[in-house]
Amino acid sequence: MYLCEPSILLHRHRYDDETGPMTDHHSVQKIIQQAEKSSIKKTLLNNFLRYIAIDTQSDPQSITSPSTRSQFILARMLAKELKKLGLTGVSVDDHSYVMATLPANTEKEMPVMGFIAHLDTSPDMSGKNIHPQIHEDYDGKDIILNRGKGMVMRVKDFPELQKYRGQTLITTDGTSLLGADNKAGIAEIMTALHILTDNPSIRRPTIKIAFTPDEEIGKGADHFDVEKFGADYAYTIDGGELGELQYENFNAAHAKITISGVNIHPGEARGKMVNACLTGMQLNSMLPAADRPENTSGYEGFYHLISFQGNVEKATMQYIIRDHNLKLFEQKKAHLRHIAGLLNQEIGNGKIVLEIKDQYYNMDSKIYPVIHIVERAKKAMESLGIHPLIRPIRGGTDGARLSAVGLPCPNIFCGGHNYHGPYEFIPLESMEKATLVILKIIEMAD
């Protein structure tokens, strides 16, 4: 293990063999065979460390777009690199969306394919002064993240570590998140572009690239210009562990409940006081305990109380409501309205005001008509010896909202674990596999 300051310079690498450019129809396979010689991992690591050195933490309280100016720093860096690689139409707009085109190198007409990742990191934990640690040839034991703070990533708490014995793990030093969500995705896309531009024998359709701001606060698609992007479909490289392939996500809504109470001196309160906080507690108790995030998994939806503030006179509660099944989603919203109605009858009409706003919907209905793009990703993984983990997203992505407006976007792994916190880690080998999956998907296009 060594502590690595993210200041390594990027170097272009040739991925040809020693006899010159590759000309056969198995270019990606040859790159795979020569992976060690071609230094794919080195390029990935260099890219990743440079990108995580830039603080791009988004801010849910901000009213600007992007929510933090620092996202422009990474956006402009990436635009400069894209231009250097020879991509065309490179732009950074007023909202920090980066877009670029890698033109097709075949005369065959094929649909335009896109790849998307996001610039920002989670607002849940600081993205400043990230000090990544590199653990080469990981021995499968507990990892000391920060001896001074007593922070240890224990195998008993994170048993998935055992999958990566002998690999190179990148972790935090326990003082910040790592930023693999989603700078690993950016690094993988950029590395794939390096390989494609160095190996023109890999047949490709027109490729569109986009890097978006503010995905972590649900605003990544707010100003995404689908027409300007110009792809027929795209893949977000924003998933978790090796093999994840996702095209289903939650239907989502936000609920705000405002409760007006009646504040009377407690000595004279009998029959008169209405305690807004207690009413809120009663309301929450009427929701099924089994439908809380901590009690659900897979396709199971939930009510999640994310905020409760107030006093006797007034209380405000906020929930997020989630379900993959649209019918069950509507039932959950209806049930919350029913409970609010019952309590209004009990304490006096008008004292409880419920506002529900839909946020996004399951992308599955938009993906099924073009399910072949999911099948292509699945076959690409299998051809590389990766077992596809087709599972629902227990959340939302830019891809869900983009799918809703006509840009189908299944989601592919970028390799990380434990996002948004100090125990975040990513195997370098998983990043390499994600890069090769991107290349294989492109090679399989028709």
Annotate 162-204 with three-state secondary structure.
HHHCCCCEEECCCCCCCCHHHHHHHHHHHHHHHHHHHCCCCCC
114: β partners: 208, 234
* For residue 66, cis peptide bond before it (omega within 30 degrees of 0): yes
CA atoms of 414 and 243, how far apart (whole Å)? 9
Pick the catalytic residue from 215, 238, 291, 443.
215
Q: Do 246 and 129 contact (CB within 8 A), yes or no? A: no
The DSSP element (H or E) to which 322 belongs, if any, is strand 314-323
Pick the catalytic residue from 120, 216, 244, 398.
120
CA atoms of 430 and 41, how far apart (whole Å)? 10
* For residue 275, cis peptide bond before it (omega within 30 degrees of 0): no
Amino acid at position 181, single letter: D
User: In the annotation, is 120 catalytic?
Assistant: yes
Q: Do 390 and 241 contact (CB within 8 A), yes or no? A: no
Using DSSP bridges, classify how beta strands 411-413 and 233-239 pair: parallel, antiparallel or unpaired: parallel
Annotate 255-321 with three-state secondary structure.
EEEEEECECCCHHHCCCCCECHHHHHHHHHHCCCHHHCHHHCCCCCCEEEEEEEEECCCEEEEEEEE
User: In the annotation, is 24 catalytic?
Assistant: no
Q: Which residues are annotated as catalytic?
A: 120, 215
